[in-house]
Structure 1
């Protein structure tokens, strides 16, 4: 693997080990299955997907990409984890998902190939797993058409997020495998906002994602202190 790729080999190995469990709603990926309808509805409320060309960066096993394709979008999912992509492709075949394809390519390489090619770009739960998140944000900004939407979600870097997203989620509630997230790689909203501004993306909306351990349900809220989502648009040239 090229040393210039914006990827952490340990992160790829971590997700590759679990690849066969992506579509098991009771597996380590249960949280993704639980909150995927929330993020899909939020995206569609801002950027209707039917007939649009959509890119999902860091698509993993295809949970979000597949659901967007079922909403009438023409979707490309990209990732650098080969096993996860094979799982995504197999699921698309089994579910007869229309208008979807997957590629093993980095966001930066695809941005050089296809600048301004997509109406909507999503990059969810991915930025906190790469060495240079600002580079991914720049690539997403390059890939979307002027005026198009780019959506991000990630985890705040603060004591509350450490307690809830790492200690509670990984060690106490065991919702995620231990080591899924590293505190130093978490991203404060102010940092992500700066990456967006520098890439020519204008922040339009923010939302928080909260988990209630009693009801075991997620909800979108105004609290961005742990998990949060950004909706941005590419400024016209």
Structure 2
């Protein structure tokens, strides 16, 4: 098992952007405010976790409609931030570990989980450090993280290697298309101000085939994928056949 005393105080890895960590340190305190400026992101998270939970339950022979459909599954949330995905999984019975390079985000996540009466194992460390300790999980999730790291292929490879045989890998990010620049950069940051200007760098967005290529050496099979689309009038997110902007992929070993 991982010795938490060795990882909770600091993170040492070249595949970390100090600028990105500083930005998310500043954002962490506001992530859970349903009436704050990130309420659109909270609505987005609710929609994506509903999809993830249903897919993971099906992949692992569970009834998605059961309130404890993820019971007993050991799940790793890589780049967990303030715990938005981790808490949703824990509520459905999963044994959740959340890791993040931002110490402040981990602290926010821990405090919110305590307030919510949920048990989540939050650690200030990176995926590679878990690999070094020979940890493996039934499910590994990397959601909206890969577009913020310098070596994207290395991060995805670490996540894939952390999955047990017959386990699942969930990857979610933004596609590098003209449409994603218009909607996710120009629209979301500059026009609607759903996110602070500079949150994303379009050049770091990842095409679905690139993710598939990075996962391929670890012998995964794509079992489901979906796009996500926001109704700007109602503020409601829904699943979409189009992967042109936000998308999620589910892989199985």
Which TM-score applies when normalising by structure 2? Answer: 0.88
Tell me the number of residue pairs that the alignment of Structure 1 and Structure 2 aligns.
232
Matches within 5 A, 1:20-35: 20-35=29-44
Q: Deviations 1:57-96 (Å, cap 9, x if unpaired)?
A: 0000001101100110110000010001000000011111
Equivalent residues of 2:220, 2:251 under 8 A apart:
yes
Q: State the match for 2:186 in structure 1.
A: 167
Q: State the match for 1:89 in structure 2.
A: 110
- In structure 1, stretches of 5+ residues that fail to align are none
Q: After TM superposition, give the deviation of residue 216 of structure 1 in Å.
A: 1.4
Q: State the match for 2:220 in structure 1.
A: 201
Matches within 5 A, 1:60-209: 60-98=81-119, 100-115=120-135, 117-209=136-228
| SS state at 1:47 partner | helix
Q: After TM superposition, give the deviation of residue 2 of structure 1 in Å.
A: 7.0
Q: State the match for 2:67 in structure 1.
A: none
Q: Deviations 1:72-122 (Å, cap 9, x if unpaired)?
A: 011000001000100000001111113x1100111111122134x211111
Q: In structure 2, do the counterparts of structure 1 residues 180 and 28 end up closer, same or farther at CA, with 3 Å as the change threshold? A: farther
Match of 1:50 among 49, 60, 71: 71
Q: After TM superposition, give the deviation of residue 51 of structure 1 in Å.
A: 1.5
Q: State the match for 2:6 in structure 1.
A: none
CA distance in 2: counterparts of 1:36 and 1:198, whole angstroms: 29
Equivalent residues of 1:38, 1:219 under 8 A apart:
yes
Measured on the aligned residues, the alpha-carbon RMSD in Å equals 1.5
CA distance in 2: counterparts of 1:180 and 1:37, whole angstroms: 20
Q: After TM superposition, give the deviation of residue 3 of structure 1 in Å.
A: 6.9
CA distance in 1: counterparts of 2:32 and 2:25, whole angstroms: 14
| SS state at 1:220 partner | strand
